[in-house]
Structure 1
Amino acid sequence: MKLGAIGCGNMAKAILGGIIKNGLIKPEDIMGADIYQPGLKEAADILGIRTTSDNKEAAQAEVLLLAVKPENYRGIIEEIKDDVKESTIIWTIAPGVTLADIDAYFGRSVKAVRTMPNTPAMVGAGVTAVTPNSQVTEEEAEYICSLIGSFGVAERIPESMMDATIPTSGSSPAMIFMLIEAMADGAVREGFSREQAYRLCAQTVLGSAQMVLESGKHPGELKDMVCTPGGITIEMVKKLEQYGFRNAIMEGMEVCTKCI
């Protein structure tokens, strides 16, 4: 299977790196295109893929990853649409660009899979929402999901839920990073070094997430396990609720969706 990628930024490199690392597609079978030459050279040096500054050359692949900003989709597709074969699967990662938009930009029905990855893909721990259109066979959709599985987890959803995925997993790493930073600030205030504080707090978030995924228990039940009667943890929970901890998170997620 030949894979083309238009755009070789950080997310594209994370995606291609996972695919190569897991042996799903060989580097020599991947063609990356970008007008930004330093980024293109970095992709070639790090990943060992073939590169070009000609988008049309990358567009001749069997799977074409469009890893450019949403506002650039129309122009890129206008440039390459006559070079894309009918059998090519278009793989998108742009928020707000719908499957209908892709057909409209091409001026015809194409095989397209709309996805929404997140930045933890850069460390092989991403979660990516996936919606194929009606032109994509189940076998083709599963193949794209297998590629996505090389850098995290693929979650099939209806397209109507795609915008809600942005605050749920797309933008929310920023919220988690803020949480870790705030926890670390609290730890530094108590005397920990900054390095120790980040390490302890990040590992705590990682371990807590692992408990949710592996225990099958409701997060509230896991929280109750930490909050012993009359203990210090329930005092912390009370103070967080006093300052609107959970409401602040939900409000942030809501405004994120409204901004799409």
Structure 2
Amino acid sequence: MTHTISFYGAGNMAQAIIAGLISSGFYKKEEIYVYNHRYEPTLQKLEEEYGIQPILNEKDLFEKSDLVILAVKPAVLTQILPQVKKYLREEHVLVSLAAGISIRQITDLTGPHKIIRAIPNTPAMVNQAMSSISPNNLTTKEEVQLVLEVFNKFGKAKVVSEQLIDAVVGVSGSAPAYVYLFIEALADGAVAQGLSRNDAYEFAAQAVLGAAKMVEETGKHPAELKDMVTSPKGTTIAAVQSLEMSNFRASVIKAVEAAAQKNRQMSEEK
């Protein structure tokens, strides 16, 4: 395995990963190569901001590194794989970020290769992503560990069976949107009670961030943490009762199921 890494695509997710790798020192800027399909201004901007090595043709990209992150949309991925197939070597590890495209579908377009599906989420932009890593059986433990280390540089990463990716999409990939809706609703409620809009967003966002940290760092069950703050006849239990009457938990469960089902359908349609 070489010490370089290549990105096919320079969109928001690729930029988030690159920023995490450079800020952590895991990769030096001269060890990162990027090719951007059909849109060179983005590549130029990335070069100016991070000092990465721009690549202007696909062949050079695959020659520069054994580890290639395919950071393109699903429709683009299925278009480019047949045309880059001729550049692939046995030692290449392909990491696909495309939702809804299975390892089997990638293999059908490239032939047998070392393939890993990765599902990060948008908090990668602030180094707080949660990513799943799903390798095929051709990848070695060392290669999987390298990819885990890469993804841990802009958040957290965990190896998950590809069969569970639909669940990952529901609970993590799409979840930032649910949380944004929740923060917005919290802020709206506070504004209705007289708090300024800016203050309301600050209080709501910090409350969500702090609560997540409590779950992460204490290791306590969320229900136990909830019980710690719900005093008898207090304000919190009144709010929790209102949420339960509105089917809050059932609505969230249904949202996760809906996202998982949609991802499953996307995979079946391709």
TM-score range (shorter-chain normalised) is over 0.9
* Partner of residue 91 from structure 1, selected from 90, 95, 100: 95
Q: Distance in 1 between matches of 2:198 and 2:66?
A: 45
Moved over 6 A (4+): none
Is 1:113 the counterpart of 2:112? The answer is: no
Q: Distance in 1 between matches of 2:18 and 2:136?
A: 23
Residue 163 of structure 1, CA deviation: 1.4
Alignment partner, residue 201 of structure 2: 198
Alignment partner, residue 230 of structure 1: 233
What secondary structure sits across from 2:153 in the alignment?
helix
Greater Cα offset, 117-126 or 66-75: 66-75
Q: Distance in 2 between matches of 1:147 and 1:96?
A: 22
Is 1:67 the counterpart of 2:80? The answer is: no
Q: Is the contact between residue 74 and residue 101 of structure 2 (CA under 8 Å) also seen in structure 1?
A: yes
Residue 58 of structure 1, CA deviation: 1.6
Alignment root-mean-square deviation, CA? 1.1
Residue 29 of structure 1, CA deviation: 1.7
Q: Is the contact between residue 132 and residue 160 of structure 2 (CA under 8 Å) also seen in structure 1?
A: yes
Q: Distance in 2 between matches of 1:53 and 1:248?
A: 47
Q: Is the contact between residue 56 and residue 79 of structure 1 (CA under 8 Å) also seen in structure 2?
A: no
Q: Distance in 1 between matches of 2:49 and 2:195?
A: 36
Q: Distance in 2 between matches of 1:246 and 1:193?
A: 28
Once the two structures are superposed, what CA deviation does each residue of 1:17-53 show, in whole Å capped at 9, x if it has no partner? 1111111121112111112222212211222111134
Residue 157 of structure 1, CA deviation: 0.9
Q: How is 1:139-150 mapped onto 2 (pairs within 5 angstroms)?
A: 139-150=142-153
Q: Is the contact between residue 166 and residue 261 of structure 2 (CA under 8 Å) also seen in structure 1?
A: no
Is 1:82 the counterpart of 2:105? The answer is: no
* Partner of residue 12 from structure 2, selected from 10, 14, 24: 10
Q: Distance in 2 between matches of 1:45 and 1:163?
A: 37
TM-score (norm 2): 0.93
Q: Is the contact between residue 95 and residue 163 of structure 1 (CA under 8 Å) also seen in structure 2?
A: no
Greater Cα offset, 237-246 or 47-56: 47-56
Alignment partner, residue 33 of structure 1: 35
Is 1:22 the counterpart of 2:21? The answer is: no
Q: Distance in 2 between matches of 1:214 and 1:28?
A: 36
Alignment partner, residue 153 of structure 1: 156
TM-score (norm 1): 0.96
Residue 59 of structure 1, CA deviation: 2.2
Is 1:255 the counterpart of 2:258? The answer is: yes
Residue 56 of structure 1, CA deviation: 2.6
Q: Distance in 2 between matches of 1:234 and 1:58?
A: 57
**Count, aligned residues:** 259
Residue 250 of structure 1, CA deviation: 0.9
Q: List runs of 5+ in structure 1 lacking aligned partners.
A: none
Query: What is the letter of the counterpart of residue 139 of structure 1?
Result: E
Alignment partner, residue 214 of structure 2: 211
